Amino acid sequence: RKEVEQDPGPFNVPEGATVAFNCTYSNSASQSFFWYRQDCRKEPKLLMSVYSSGNEDGRFTAQLNRASQYISLLIRDSKLSDSATYLCVVIPGQAGTALIFGKGTTLSVSS
């Protein structure tokens, strides 16, 4: 099992749609979790951290289920500008400070 696995995508949705991405991680001792966003031919940038209690930032909601080792990202009212690749990121408990990245899920929002 890969350390961090994401939905394969791509997700093609119309403007205004709600879309959810899922991610599973294999190391139960993992400490911290994030979603990063990467635009085409650009560097990844932090979208939001994921907290155990779940957290929301505008149209974006992140959830963590430690028992199932599962992370999700929900985007409501999709905008054209949300088109990007979304990377699930985990910091494993024992592996120093290196972050583990999923391969990413591509979202394309169309008008």
- DSSP code of residue 7: -
Q: Is 92 in the site for other proteins (CB under 8 A)?
A: no
89 DSSP β-pair partners: 34, 101
Q: Is 94 in the site for other proteins (CB under 8 A)?
A: no
Residue with tokens 């024992």: 94
Q: Is 43 in the site for other proteins (CB under 8 A)?
A: yes
Q: Is 9 in the site for other proteins (CB under 8 A)?
A: no
Q: Is 47 in the site for other proteins (CB under 8 A)?
A: no
3-class state of residue 81 by DSSP: helix
CA torsion through residues 47, 49, 50, 51, sign? negative
CA torsion through residues 107, 40, 79, 90, sign? positive
Site string for other proteins, 48-87 (x = CB under 8 A): -x-------------------------------------x
How near is the Cβ of 101 to other proteins at its closest, in Å? 4
How many Cα atoms are found within 13 Å in the side-chain-facing hemisphere of 11? 26
Question: Which 19-38 positions form the footprint of other proteins (CB under 8 A)?
Answer: 34
How near is the Cβ of 19 to other proteins at its closest, in Å? 20
Name the residues that contact other proteins, by CB under 8 A.
34, 42-46, 49, 87, 89, 96-99, 101-104
